[in-house]
């Protein structure tokens, strides 16, 4: 079976089932488990499927490709980026998540005495040659859709880092305070970012309230703050932040 036809059949099967194991898919398509795994890896990189433990599932929510997301709500993301940059003290070690709002933070950091770590290639390119103290690209499995490196290699690298401050993105924040993400593969990475940093802030433009995403790395109350361009947080979410002493910055 040609690879393009095989990929179409595989995506169709997973979509009809919602989720499936590698063994199930291999048996139904009449191909080897090894070929099935390779196809799943490639389809996940294209954003068409999401791997799970021992299998794969069809993503119910999918974020836009990086370049498309970068221009959406650009003015608000730029304001968030500038405010986040103000929070960072000189000489700090900073972790920037892969999202487009974190990319706007990077645009405001050029020329500063900072060490910056990121798995985002566009963010790395913006800061390369930007006269920082140090710039570290966290390597792993390449994601074409998100223009970043992902996977357990990134998690392992973060486990050996100690940062002063980190900024994470999201696909949404529920009214009850649950941080949401469409990508299952990013959950462990976001948790590793939080664990590696003394302070962690969530970056969320107004479209992310409540946004989308069926996966959740943590609650907003587990973070130090949120920076958003929303005029105000929903009442329940504001109460959640107050109860957990999570700083709210509106820009």
One digit per residue, the tens of pLDDT, for the chain of length 251 reads 688 889 988 988 887 777 889 999 999 999 999 999 999 988 877 667 878 777 888 765 656 666 666 656 578 999 999 999 999 999 999 999 998 999 999 999 999 999 999 999 999 999 998 999 999 999 998 888 889 999 999 999 999 999 999 999 999 999 999 999 988 789 999 999 999 999 999 999 999 999 888 778 999 999 999 999 999 999 999 999 999 999 999 99
The answer to whether the CB of 223 falls within 8 A of the CB of 187 is no
Looking at residue 183, what is its pLDDT?
83
Degrees, nearest 5: CA angle 40-190-74: 95
Looking at residue 71, what is its pLDDT?
59
Distance CA 20, CA 16 (A): 10
> Start-end ranges of CATH 1.10.10.10 in the chain?
3-57
> Start-end ranges of CATH 3.40.50.1360 in the chain?
67-250
Q: According to CATH, what is the number of the domain 67-250?
A: 3.40.50.1360
The answer to whether the CB of 202 falls within 8 A of the CB of 83 is no
Looking at residue 49, what is its pLDDT?
80
Pick the CATH number of 3-57 from 1.10.10.10, 3.40.605.10, 3.40.190.10, 3.90.550.10: 1.10.10.10
pTM, to two decimals:
0.76
């Amino acid at each position: 079976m040609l690879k393009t036809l095989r990929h179409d059949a595989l995506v169709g099967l997973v979509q009809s089932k919602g989720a499936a194991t590698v063994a199930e898919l291999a048996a139904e398509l009449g191909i080897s488990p090894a070929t099935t795994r390779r196809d799943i890896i490639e389809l996940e990189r294209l954003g068409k499927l999401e791997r799970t433990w021992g299998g794969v599932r069809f993503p119910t929510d999918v974020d836009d490709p990086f370049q498309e997301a970068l221009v959406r709500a650009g003015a608000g993301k730029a304001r968030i980026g500038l405010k986040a940059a103000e929070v960072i003290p000189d000489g700090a070690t900073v972790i920037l998540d892969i999202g487009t709002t974190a990319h706007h933070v990077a645009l405001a950091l050029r020329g500063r005495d900072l060490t910056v770590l990121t798995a985002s290639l566009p963010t790395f390119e913006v800061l390369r040659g930007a006269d920082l103290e140090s710039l570290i690209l966290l390597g792993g499995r390449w994601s074409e859709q998100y223009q970043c490196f992902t996977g357990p290699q990134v998690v392992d690298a973060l486990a050996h880092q100690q940062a002063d401050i980190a900024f994470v993105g999201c696909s949404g924040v529920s009214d009850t305070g649950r941080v949401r993400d469409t990508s299952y593969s990013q959950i462990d990475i976001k948790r590793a970012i939080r664990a590696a940093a003394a302070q962690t802030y969530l970056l969320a433009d107004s479209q992310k309230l409540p946004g989308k995403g069926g996966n959740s790395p943590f609650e907003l109350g587990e973070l130090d703050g949120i920076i958003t361009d929303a005029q105000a947080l929903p009442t329940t979410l504001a109460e959640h932040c107050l109860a957990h002493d999570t700083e709210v910055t509106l820009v």
